[in-house]
Structure 1
């Protein structure tokens, strides 16, 4: 039995056969237009549905606080695992990435470290040959001078073993001093190991060459340690040891640079240690990690410092560099307001650059406070360089550095720009004329003169 659709189809076909040819053409034209309009309506309806759905989803996400997902780009480069050393003449392709990863200047807003007034010692290993043990150091373990592929300068590489590394050029220990240095580690922090430690030790041992195999030499001292490869990542700790054991103390904490995701591996950490009589403060990059009011007993006399490493696994490396030791308590207010001139070493720059390093924040903030409290005082900011490089380049560099300092005082601390003048002297007015790391460090300075 035929269906209704079949019967209708046959009827239409019979009707068309009886229809004149010109009438058939008009009929099919109307059918085509009707079909075209129907198709347009269908497409518009589908498009409206999709747009409505997508728009609704976007609005819902905005209301719910859900961020829009972005497609991940595939990285062509792979992170290298293992040593970060390079040859002395290898092109540095990672400097820009390292610069981008540094904390911003504003991140140091709570950083109150100010280095000592006078530089006593500076070590950048520039006078040592690559692959050699540093000439001015005594050691009970092996170490060699290397360069790294992601940061400027030279470092000593400290590997597996146990022993001391004594900077024999540091032999003055007054009540107030500061010690700064850079550390890079190259090992898997998430991998458990018994010992992966790098310490700096202040002690009362009479001779720096004594007890080189001990991490706590003498009877009284203080230790700051970086410890990597322990359960959960790494940590830093301090240890005060005394002849009277009842006065001993210990404390430790975990830091972001030693997280077990290895994000800090191969990255430079800047360590700042500040001793003021009995008090000792320790900073890592922009963070103050320890502030110990009785780190040293009144009767304790510090006679030397050394670095001490004890690591048991193979392929475990620490890199130590840019060591700066300064003494004296900075008296910026008296120097600038009363004496009329302040010479500071606390404002630093990368080699050949005019951008102020973030760790200069504490020094610039103190100078800004002095200027804010003495609104009638105007100053001339003068940049100075060492003698490395040519005269013309150093002159221009010193001028740009002075301008950078002025801009920070104006932009970050609100000092009126009309109160600040700038100039540069390049290498033309050295404080020290020797060709030593210490002399060069003293000549790299920023001066503030009341005008």
Structure 2
């Protein structure tokens, strides 16, 4: 019995034998064209597949504002010394977390929004390496250092007990936010008597009082990172009140301070948000405390200080990137009614368009306003400080504005046609000073209704 292919072959041969020669030529011409079209379709299909893959990759890269690169790994190395050479785990240039999720995905429940106006910013850029910071008062030793795996400058806090008072923070209204970065370098599993770093909000009139005391006077609140005394570590809060029956203390463990030392040498971002009596505290993307009555109604916060107590040698905390802002952001009114919103809550890596994950709460709020007002179109404008080259800053500000737009489109479904972008670099400062606070105010993103 003949196969289907054999039957088709005999049929084609029969047709060729009975058709005229010129018809035969036309037939083969059509066959050639058909084959050509088939080849074109195949090429087109492969091209579309490649474009589709690249488009998907571009969407994945939205948060970074640049194409992803392959992961680079560094073996973990640890060295305890006064030179601030600390542990460095796997480095992932795509800025994804260990679980493989993009950074913004992990921050999907992060609702922290920075205060509306920056009053204080400290990155120790005006201090010499090895010096005690000029704008701080302290009862213990501390010096400005750089770290081998984290950009910027930090103060190194080691053995001893005492306060570190940022004297440039003087205003304490009902609503404020405080952010800072902490790196620790010690073996969490190793026994120690004391290794604490806390921030204390106090009702003491003079911040120079009781520098050797970690309590905040009659009324106040503290948040502490504790390295553990018998292995492991954790965090706690302490509410102090003149009426001791109103005191409150709560503590909990956290993965970053597990005995496996997974957080050692890694930058930890702390965000503290005061709204009248309420205090919310976050570590990275996680809300760790939410205390409705952290302060009694009659409590007036008058100063803040950092306080450390470390009993072992070669045990260090590093403190940096302190950002203090006041005022409750009213994004809806600013954008919809006034037509312009200036935000400092969207931040970027130094010299890059890569948006920091802590920006999620702010950009989520803005996306909510745009979603509820679908007829509103906006112009997104990026601004930089005056450090660096003018042309570089101009290009950087444009890229940052585009990065914000991409995030609003890909993460929150805002129609891209509603969003225009531009950059003004360092050409439109709001503060012409050279202090860290002035530079922080100039690094901003503006939304203007158009």
Structures share fold, TM-score greater than 0.5? yes
C-alpha distance 97-337 of structure 1, shift in aligned 2 (>3 A) = closer
Who is 1:65 aligned against? none
Who is 2:169 aligned against? 170
Give 1:67-78 correspondences, 5 Å limit.
77-78=75-76
Q: CA deviation at 1:376?
A: 0.5
The higher radius of gyration belongs to: 1
Distance 2:221 2:405 in 1: 39
Q: CA deviation at 1:124?
A: 0.1
| Partner-residue secondary structure (3-state), 1:318 | strand
Distance 1:300 1:174 in 2: 11
| Partner-residue secondary structure (3-state), 1:334 | helix
Q: CA deviation at 1:230?
A: 3.0
Contact 1:84-1:148 at 8 Å conserved across structures: no
Distance 1:385 1:78 in 2: 35
Who is 2:424 aligned against? 425
C-alpha distance 98-143 of structure 1, shift in aligned 2 (>3 A) = farther
Distance 1:78 1:156 in 2: 23
Contact 1:94-1:149 at 8 Å conserved across structures: no
Give 1:19-418 correspondences, 5 Å limit.
77-83=75-81, 85=83, 99=95, 101=97, 104-418=103-417
Please, which runs of 5 or more residues in structure 1 have no aligned partner? Answer: 1-74
After superposition, the C-alpha distances for 1:64-101 in whole angstroms (9 at most, x for unaligned) are: xxxxxxxxxxx9945224248459xxxx9987569455
Count of equivalent residues = 374
Q: CA deviation at 1:259?
A: 1.0
Distance 1:367 1:316 in 2: 42
After superposition, the C-alpha distances for 1:260-284 in whole angstroms (9 at most, x for unaligned) are: 1011100000000000000000000
| Partner-residue secondary structure (3-state), 1:106 | helix
| Partner-residue secondary structure (3-state), 2:366 | helix
Contact 1:94-1:150 at 8 Å conserved across structures: no
Please, which runs of 5 or more residues in structure 2 have no aligned partner? Answer: 1-72
Distance 1:276 1:76 in 2: 42
After superposition, the C-alpha distances for 1:169-221 in whole angstroms (9 at most, x for unaligned) are: 00000000000000000000001111110000000001000011111132111
After superposition, the C-alpha distances for 1:363-395 in whole angstroms (9 at most, x for unaligned) are: 000000000000000000000000000110000
Distance 1:85 1:413 in 2: 44
Contact 2:334-2:341 at 8 Å conserved across structures: yes
C-alpha distance 78-278 of structure 1, shift in aligned 2 (>3 A) = closer
Two-structure CA RMSD over aligned residues (Å): 1.9
Contact 1:115-1:178 at 8 Å conserved across structures: yes
C-alpha distance 93-109 of structure 1, shift in aligned 2 (>3 A) = closer
| Partner-residue secondary structure (3-state), 1:383 | strand
Contact 2:95-2:103 at 8 Å conserved across structures: no
Q: CA deviation at 1:104?
A: 1.1
Who is 1:38 aligned against? none
Distance 1:117 1:104 in 2: 24
After superposition, the C-alpha distances for 1:323-381 in whole angstroms (9 at most, x for unaligned) are: 00000000000000000000000000010000111110000000000000000000000
Contact 2:163-2:307 at 8 Å conserved across structures: yes
| Partner-residue secondary structure (3-state), 2:146 | strand
